Amino acid sequence: MKCKILLDTCVLVAASTFYVSDDLRTRLEHPFYQQSMSLITFLRKNLSSRIGITTETIERQSIPALQDAIDKDLVKTGINREKDFPIYSFIKNYCEQKLKTIRSCLVREPIEEDAVRANYGYVDRLFSEKAEEGIRLTFVEPRFKRLAEQVPKRYKGIAKEIYKQQQKEEDYQLVHLIRKPVEPSDKWILSEAIYLSMMYNRIETDEVIFFLASTDNHFSPKRWAGGKVSNQVTEAIRQKFGIACDWPMQVENMAKKVLEGKYPLPYDK
């Protein structure tokens, strides 16, 4: 049994930013940064296993993603061009330099565009179906109302609020698809992941477990404090395409199990 990890754009930019912060001694504590950096460290340690992979699409998106963040900051109030232009120019240079270093520990896989395009239709349909499910569960037949109907009249008000909050947490991934529709570029990345997963399982003699490491809730589950997980979209991707999407830390833990010869459990903490 082997494993491969495709790193989404967000993981690459988060790790590059973390490395810069480390050099500047302004450590970033959020899991978005910590987990991405930890996964890159793990991939570096296991470089000979060629676990970490990337594609041209993901690489191409990374630098504009860093630039987008700078562009957003440049229009904020309090920006002094004389003092801040040199600073943002330095940040851009430094993060891009770190991005390049990170890419050097990943295998860049070639892609057959026609095959990926064929997968795109299935990916698009999956996200449409899940968005429709989100609309149905949220607006047409919300279950919190049905559940609240079943409690004694005097508790209905409070029960309704509790069930509503519960449903909001459980269906987070579905509602997220409605609030922030998946970008075509993200659907393309999943299509590439499907192509690569199929390709590896065709050419490798051992079974290949394929992970997509991402902090984007279109792919990875939303974990709430208290242990509740919203994973309807992630589960649909896993069942339909055999790709395990998760946050970098969970992917790292699952990959470690594969390296020990054990089958990883999905949605492991």
Partner 1 sequence: MTSSRKVGRLEKTSLLKELSDRLQKMERAAEVDRTVLNTLDKLIDACYSTESFWRDNKKESVQSSFMLYHASRNARIILQRMKQRFIEAEEKHQNPLVIEESIAIIPPLSELCVTISSLVKQTLTKDLVNMVSEKVQYLREVAFANSLLPTPEEEMQELDEKRLKKRFGEFADTLQAMFV
- Helix 172-179 vs helix 113-135: crossing angle, to nearest 10: 110
Q: Rule CB under 8 A: is residue 32 a binding residue for partner 1? A: yes
The 3-state secondary structure of the chain, one letter per residue: CEEEEEECHHHHHHHHHHHHHHHHCCCCCCHHHHHHHHHHHHHHHCHHHCCEEECHHHHHHHHHHHHHHHHHHHCCCCCCHHHHHHHHHHHHHHHHHHHHHHHCCCEECCCCHHHHHHHHHHHHHHHHHHHHHHHHHHHHCCHHHHHHHCCCHHHHHHHHHHHHHHHHHHCHHHHHHHHCCCCHHHHHHHHHHHHHHHHHHHHCCCCEEEEEECCCCCCCCEECCCCCEECHHHHHHHHHHCEEEECHHHHHHHHHHHHCCCCCCCCCC
Closer CB to partner 1, residue 33 or residue 127? 33
Among the candidate windows 15-23, 110-118, 146-154, 174-182, which touches partner 1 by CB under 8 A?
15-23
User: Could you say whether residue 45 binds partner 1 (CB under 8 A)?
Assistant: no
**Position 14 contacts partner 1 (CB under 8 A):** yes
Q: Using the rule CB under 8 A, is 79 a contact of partner 1?
A: yes
Contact flag: residue 85 with partner 1 (CB under 8 A): yes
Residue 69 Cβ vs partner 1, minimum distance, rounded to whole Å: 4
Q: Does 28 bind partner 1 (CB under 8 A)?
A: yes
CB–CB of 106/52 below 8 Å? yes
Closest distance to partner 1 from the beta carbon of 110 (Å): 21
- Rounded Cα gap, residues 47 and 60, in angstroms: 23
Q: Indicate whether 68 belongs to the interface with partner 1 (CB under 8 A).
A: yes
Token code pair at residue 269: 């903490």
Tell me the per-residue interface mask from 204 to 223 with partner 1, x by CB under 8 A, - otherwise.
-----------xx-------
Given the complex with partner 1, which of 36 and 191 has the nearer CB atom? 36
Identity of the residue, 2 or 223, whose beta carbon is nearer to partner 1 in the bound complex: 223
Mark residue 233 as left, alpha or beta (left: phi above 0; alpha: psi -120 to 50; beta: remaining): alpha
246 binds partner 1 (CB under 8 A): no
* Interactions with partner 1, residue window 92-131 (CB under 8 A): 92-94, 96-97
Question: Is residue 34 close enough to count as binding partner 1 by CB under 8 A?
Answer: no
Residues of span 138-197 touching partner 1 by CB under 8 A: none
CB of 29 to partner 1, least distance (A): 10
Rank residues 33 and 188 by Cβ distance to partner 1 and give the closer one: 33
Judged by CB under 8 A, the residue of 48, 76, 226, 260 near partner 1 is 76
Binding site for partner 1 (CB under 8 A): 10, 13-14, 17, 20-21, 23-24, 26, 28, 30, 32-33, 63-76, 79, 81-94, 96-97, 215-216
